[in-house]
Amino acid sequence: MDISGSIDQLERSFVKRPANYLVEAELAFELKQILNNQLQPARLTGDHDSGGARGDIPDHSEYADAVISTPDIDRAHCEVSGSNFGLGSQQMKLDLVLFADEVDLSLEGGSKKFRVEDLVTAVEFKFIKNAKYLREDSKRYNLIADDIDRLDGLPAHVDTFCLVFANFDLARRSDTQEALESLKSRSDRVEVRHTHPKSDGLLD
């Protein structure tokens, strides 16, 4: 599913009011809201492992039943994890995902896990506040590269975006432009976008 228009809307908001964004999570949550305002919820099915308590411990299954019996959930969510996402660790999460029309939830203890088969889009965010430039092999460059590699490892049916927001134009010099272009060409399936307060054309 093409969410480029929704990303455009987020980028325009950032350029218009850059002081309004303090942390990376605000960017992810705003895109989540934009998407959920546009899309109908997904139908939810699920299962859990919270039954069968021993001894005098109450059976918690009625609470887990209430969770998985939710008829639908929003299509876009932040900080999503799943046992078969292939991210290197089941504890690792994607900053934002867009689900398909039908979603299967596995409630493991109290943790909500999802299937990679139910993802249609995955987005990673980086909000770089203090750096004036982006240099190859710098800490920030490597963090962005790690995000790109993680997205590239998702199945081919998942559309992928790496969104880099910054308080300064990270590619103002020729060497830093080369660093950004290197990131953009790192994967032929991950769209890398860089937005800063003076990004041209976004408010036209």
Please calculate the CA angle 129-132-135 and round it to the nearest 5 degrees.
Answer: 110
Q: Which residues contact 10 (CB under 8 A, 6 or more apart)?
A: 27, 30, 31, 34, 163
Reading the block at residue 195, the tokens are: 């937005």
Cβ pair 164, 192 in contact under 8 A: yes
pLDDT tens digits for 160-194?
A: 999 999 999 988 888 889 999 999 999 999 999 99
Cβ pair 35, 132 in contact under 8 A: no
**Which is higher by pLDDT, 35 or 62?**
35
pTM comes to 0.91
| CA 84 from centroid of its chain's CA atoms | 16
Give me the residue spans of the domains in the chain.
Answer: 4-195
- Residue 77, judged by CB atoms within 10 A of its CB (0-12, 13-18, 19+), counts as buried
Reading the block at residue 202, the tokens are: 């976004």
> Residue 89 pLDDT more than 70?
no
Query: Alpha-carbon distance 145 to 161, whole Å?
Result: 12
Secondary structure (DSSP) of 25-94: HHHHHHHHHHHHHHSPPEEEEEEES-----TTSPP-HHHHHHHHT--EE-SEEEEEB-TTS-SSSTT--E
| Residue 68: φ, ψ to 5° | -80, -10
Q: Residue 90 — very low, low, confident or very high, per pLDDT cuts 50/70/90?
A: low
Determine the residue type at 109. G
Residues in the chain: 204
Strand-pair category, 190-195 with 159-166: parallel
Q: Residue 17 — very low, low, confident or very high, per pLDDT cuts 50/70/90?
A: very high
pLDDT at 2: 86
